[in-house]
Amino acid sequence: MSPSMTALVVEEENKKYQRGVKHLCDNGLTKVPTKYIWPEPDRPIFTKFDKLTKPKQNLKLPIIDITELLGPNRSHVLQTIAEACENYGFFQVVNHGMEGDVSRNMIEVCKKFFELPYEERSKYMTADMSAPVRCGTSFNQSKDNVFCWRDFLKLSAHPLPDYLPYWPSSPTDFRSLAAIYAKETKDMFDKMVKAILESLEIDGDGDDAAEELKAGSQLVVVNCYPPCPQPELTLGMPPHSDYGFLTLLLQDDVEGLQIMYRDEWVTVDPIPGSFVVNVGDHLEQRRYKSVLHRVLVNSTKPRISVASLHSFPFTSVVKPSPKLTDEHNPPQYMDTDFDTFLQYISSREPKWKNFLESRKIHHIR
């Protein structure tokens, strides 16, 4: 083949990958295409040796019971939240008040969305980061050299009436079920914020963070991970930390989420109907850490997860609470805002903790 012919073939192949993993799989696949093969050190299983000597052990995250949090044991639960945010950056929430039907319906209707013909889903595919609804694939499909085994649907969700008219109208019950889900997740977030601020002892008068977060942004990200013929060669999502204050993640019963714990990747055990909550970049300070996590895929079961990312309004300047900084504890990061983040991701990929690192202040002592 002439070099120009080869270039054409590569361009055609790339176009195919832009349509997403679901589309690729629907057309039959027995091997992972090169585009999705990660360099060896980044793959899920490093060596045969690791596989043989380390029994597969899942991580049981600290569990927070919301009814306990709202009862006489509040201070004890706040202590558990503080320890979880310090030691793991993650915890699981049970008895959160969301009816089982609401979360199950959300997962089911999202499954149906990804089963729609490609042409229907492609209506929402856009490179415009500010679009209220955005379908796509991989992590950052216009920048990624190696692709991830993941398709997504991102919905701006707060304030809901501003965005709901743009949400997919097919499947027919998508909008109504996703709207209930988004609203109840937002209510759960508002409760979590109060608890988190209290656990840091920065709640109460003179700190309007809770009010600002209540009026803040919510992005519902539906992740679809189709079964993968060679899951050991690829990743559903690369190591990253979440932009925002807190993420509330609903998973179906298929495991896949791994978090970095004591310098190792450990799989989080899914608890049906629970939420995995994690510290985002905006909540990181001396005590709580925004922890790296990634997603593995598997060869047999499709997996759906719904991440609800919450933060300050897009117009806010994000800066440390004055109650957490003083002469001896100066701010660790420069004040930042959403425009700075958008500029950052338009020039490179926000993998690992790159964005947060880029805002770090290097104090000279």
CB of 203 to ligand OGA, least distance (A): 27
Q: How far apart are CA 94 and CA 74, in angstroms?
A: 15
List the one residue from 137, 218, 305, 336 that touches ligand OGA (CB under 6 A).
305
Among 31-39, 157-165, 182-190, 250-258, the segment contacting ligand OGA (CB under 6 A)? 250-258
Q: Tell whether residue 251 is a contact of ligand OGA (CB under 6 A).
A: yes
Please give the DSSP secondary-structure letter assigned to residue 116.
S
Q: Tell whether residue 281 is a contact of Ni ion (CB under 5 A).
A: no
Which structure tokens are listed for 12?
């055609």
For residue 152, give the nearest of 305, 349, 259, 35 by alpha carbon.
305
Q: Tell whether residue 249 is a contact of ligand OGA (CB under 6 A).
A: yes
- Cβ(221)–Cβ(232) under 8 Å? no
Among 50-58, 161-169, 241-249, 296-304, the segment contacting Ni ion (CB under 5 A)? 241-249
Q: Tell whether residue 257 is a contact of ligand OGA (CB under 6 A).
A: yes
Question: Residues 206-245 vs ligand OGA: string with x where CB under 6 A?
Answer: ---------------x-x-------------x----x---
Q: Tell whether residue 110 is a contact of ligand OGA (CB under 6 A).
A: no
Q: Tell whether residue 151 is a contact of Ni ion (CB under 5 A).
A: no
Burial annotation 165-175 (CB, 10 A radius, 16+ → b, else e): eebbeebeebb
Q: Tell whether residue 198 is a contact of Ni ion (CB under 5 A).
A: no
Angular region, 273: left φ>0, alpha ψ -120 to 50, beta rest: left
Helix-helix angle 100-115:174-199, to 10 degrees: 130
For residue 241, give the nearest of 158, 136, 162, 355 by alpha carbon.
355
Q: Tell whether residue 242 is a contact of Ni ion (CB under 5 A).
A: yes
CB nearer to Ni ion: give 242 or 284. Answer: 242
Q: How far apart are CA 257 and CA 269, in angstroms?
A: 8
Q: Under the rule (CB under 6 A), what is the footprint of ligand OGA?
A: 221, 223, 237, 242, 249, 251, 256-257, 293, 295, 305, 307
